[in-house]
Amino acid sequence: MCKKNILIITGYIGLLAAIFVGIGEFLLHFDPLGRFSGSYEFMIGINEERTTLGHFIGVLSAPFYIVGFWHLMKMLEPASEKVSKIAFAIISYGIIIGVVWIGSRANISALVNDFELINQASLISLYDIRYENLLQITRVSVIIFSILFIWLILTGNTLYPKWIAVFNPFFLILLSFGTWIVIPSIGIYLMPIALNFAFAIIFAFSIYFSHTLKHK
């Protein structure tokens, strides 16, 4: 199989991962009232069937992100093989930690919705310590990857045009947050899946540019 076809296939795998993890997170987190700040209030009223379905879709799909990140690494590699591998390692580690976090969300949803638990507050606090802090690792990895993504594209000879640097994960996640603030009727659909929305856009662009490559 030629390099171009491998790049295209791995790009599609990354795109599908972003879409299906997005579906999983949407089922776990979507709140029509858009209460996405400071607490778990947005989870109130989400039934167990929905969170269980979202849990399995998200957790089982997330590992395929690694294939998509390999695709991005190869697209960035002509600029710097070493830096592109570092970027791949950082974002892959971050998403692995993110899978652990996603795998915990159905449990915290059940906890939030069971108001008869005597120690609910202390259990939620324990959840924050054990799992919510893990999300910070994923967030930092996304920021570092975004910096390397921009740097490689703007300073090297990647397989992307220079303007693609604008469509980095950090900017696209901020775009979701900004949309939630400015146009909440649209933002409530983007907020639960902000990271997956960002990578879906990136993979879509990357697949397009993979198709434009000459066969090797």
Low-confidence residues of the chain: pLDDT under 50 = 216
pLDDT of residue 117: 55
Q: In which element (H, E) is residue 108 found?
A: helix 105-113
Contact at 8 Å (CB) between 178 and 198? no
pLDDT of residue 62: 94
Cα–chain center distance at 139: 9
CB atoms within 10 A of CB 38: 7
pLDDT of residue 116: 56
Instruction: Report pLDDT digits (tens) over 181-204.
Output: 999 999 999 999 999 999 999 999
Instruction: Report pLDDT digits (tens) over 148-173.
Output: 999 999 998 899 999 999 999 999 99
Give the contacts of 181 (CB within 8 A, at least 6 positions apart).
187
Domain ranges (residues) in the chain? 3-31+38-211
pLDDT of residue 105: 87
* Cα dihedral across residues 91, 20, 207, 4: positive or negative: positive
What is the distance in angstroms between the CA of the first residue and the CA of the last residue of the chain?
10
pLDDT of residue 185: 93
Of 203, 148, 197, residue with least CA distance to 10 = 203
pLDDT of residue 136: 87
Q: Which tokens belong to 88?
A: 């791949």
E-assigned strands of 154-208?
Answer: none
pLDDT of residue 47: 85
